[in-house]
Amino acid sequence: MPKGYMIARVTVTNPEAYAEYVALASEVIRAYGGKLLTRGGRTELLEGEMRPRNVVIEFETYEKAIAYYNSPEYQRAKKARENAGVADMIAVEGV
Protein backbone atom coordinates (compact mmCIF):
# COMPACT_ATOMS: atom_id res chain seq x y z
CA MET A 1 0.00 0.00 0.00
CA PRO A 2 1.41 3.44 -0.90
CA LYS A 3 2.58 5.72 1.91
CA GLY A 4 1.21 9.19 2.51
CA TYR A 5 3.25 12.34 2.94
CA MET A 6 2.44 15.76 4.31
CA ILE A 7 4.59 18.50 2.83
CA ALA A 8 4.63 21.91 4.46
CA ARG A 9 6.35 25.01 3.12
CA VAL A 10 6.45 27.73 5.76
CA THR A 11 7.53 31.31 6.25
CA VAL A 12 7.72 31.87 10.01
CA THR A 13 6.80 35.41 11.08
CA ASN A 14 6.51 34.86 14.85
CA PRO A 15 9.09 32.32 16.10
CA GLU A 16 7.66 32.08 19.62
CA ALA A 17 4.14 31.30 18.41
CA TYR A 18 5.56 28.90 15.81
CA ALA A 19 7.47 27.04 18.55
CA GLU A 20 4.14 26.47 20.33
CA TYR A 21 2.66 25.11 17.08
CA VAL A 22 5.65 22.78 16.60
CA ALA A 23 5.24 21.38 20.12
CA LEU A 24 1.52 20.74 19.63
CA ALA A 25 1.86 19.36 16.09
CA SER A 26 4.72 17.04 17.13
CA GLU A 27 2.43 15.29 19.61
CA VAL A 28 -0.20 14.77 16.92
CA ILE A 29 2.39 13.49 14.42
CA ARG A 30 3.45 10.82 16.93
CA ALA A 31 -0.17 9.94 17.75
CA TYR A 32 -0.92 9.31 14.06
CA GLY A 33 2.25 7.29 13.48
CA GLY A 34 3.96 9.99 11.44
CA LYS A 35 7.71 10.05 10.87
CA LEU A 36 9.49 13.34 10.27
CA LEU A 37 11.74 13.03 7.24
CA THR A 38 12.83 16.66 7.28
CA ARG A 39 12.02 19.65 9.42
CA GLY A 40 13.97 22.75 8.51
CA GLY A 41 17.54 22.10 7.44
CA ARG A 42 19.46 23.41 4.47
CA THR A 43 17.58 24.36 1.34
CA GLU A 44 18.46 25.80 -2.03
CA LEU A 45 15.96 27.18 -4.51
CA LEU A 46 16.43 25.43 -7.84
CA GLU A 47 13.20 26.50 -9.58
CA GLY A 48 9.99 28.32 -8.77
CA GLU A 49 9.19 29.96 -5.45
CA MET A 50 10.48 29.00 -2.05
CA ARG A 51 9.62 29.33 1.61
CA PRO A 52 12.48 29.20 4.11
CA ARG A 53 11.16 26.26 6.18
CA ASN A 54 10.21 22.93 4.64
CA VAL A 55 8.78 19.90 6.43
CA VAL A 56 8.08 16.39 5.10
CA ILE A 57 6.22 13.87 7.25
CA GLU A 58 5.74 10.24 6.22
CA PHE A 59 2.61 8.30 7.22
CA GLU A 60 1.79 4.63 6.78
CA THR A 61 -0.89 5.49 4.21
CA TYR A 62 -2.31 8.50 2.39
CA GLU A 63 -5.50 8.09 4.42
CA LYS A 64 -3.49 8.36 7.67
CA ALA A 65 -1.90 11.59 6.43
CA ILE A 66 -5.35 13.05 5.69
CA ALA A 67 -6.69 11.81 9.05
CA TYR A 68 -3.76 13.51 10.80
CA TYR A 69 -4.47 16.83 9.11
CA ASN A 70 -8.23 16.67 9.70
CA SER A 71 -7.96 15.48 13.30
CA PRO A 72 -9.29 17.73 16.07
CA GLU A 73 -5.85 17.55 17.69
CA TYR A 74 -4.07 18.89 14.62
CA GLN A 75 -6.71 21.54 14.05
CA ARG A 76 -5.93 22.84 17.57
CA ALA A 77 -2.23 22.94 16.67
CA LYS A 78 -3.05 24.68 13.39
CA LYS A 79 -4.93 27.37 15.31
CA ALA A 80 -1.71 28.10 17.23
CA ARG A 81 0.04 28.61 13.88
CA GLU A 82 -2.44 31.22 12.60
CA ASN A 83 -0.39 34.20 13.84
CA ALA A 84 2.97 32.48 13.52
CA GLY A 85 3.52 32.47 9.78
CA VAL A 86 2.30 31.57 6.33
CA ALA A 87 2.16 27.94 5.26
CA ASP A 88 1.34 25.82 2.24
CA MET A 89 0.46 22.23 3.09
CA ILE A 90 -0.20 19.38 0.72
CA ALA A 91 -0.82 15.67 1.07
CA VAL A 92 0.89 13.38 -1.43
CA GLU A 93 0.49 9.66 -2.05
CA GLY A 94 3.84 8.03 -2.69
CA VAL A 95 6.05 4.99 -2.29
Contact by Cβ (8 Å): 85, 15: no
Question: Which tens digit of pLDDT belongs to each residue from 39-88?
Answer: 988 999 999 999 999 999 999 999 999 999 999 999 999 999 998 999 99
Question: Which tens digit of pLDDT belongs to each residue from 52-63?
Answer: 999 999 999 999
Q: Give backbone dihedrals phi and psi of 23, rounded to 5 degrees, phi first.
A: -60, -45
Query: Is the confidence at residue 7, as pLDDT, over 90?
Result: yes
Give domain 3-94's CATH architecture: 2-Layer Sandwich (3.30)
Q: Is 14 exposed, middle or buried (0-12, 13-18, 19+ CB in 10 A)?
A: middle
pLDDT value at residue 40: 83
pLDDT value at residue 93: 97
User: Model pTM?
Assistant: 0.92
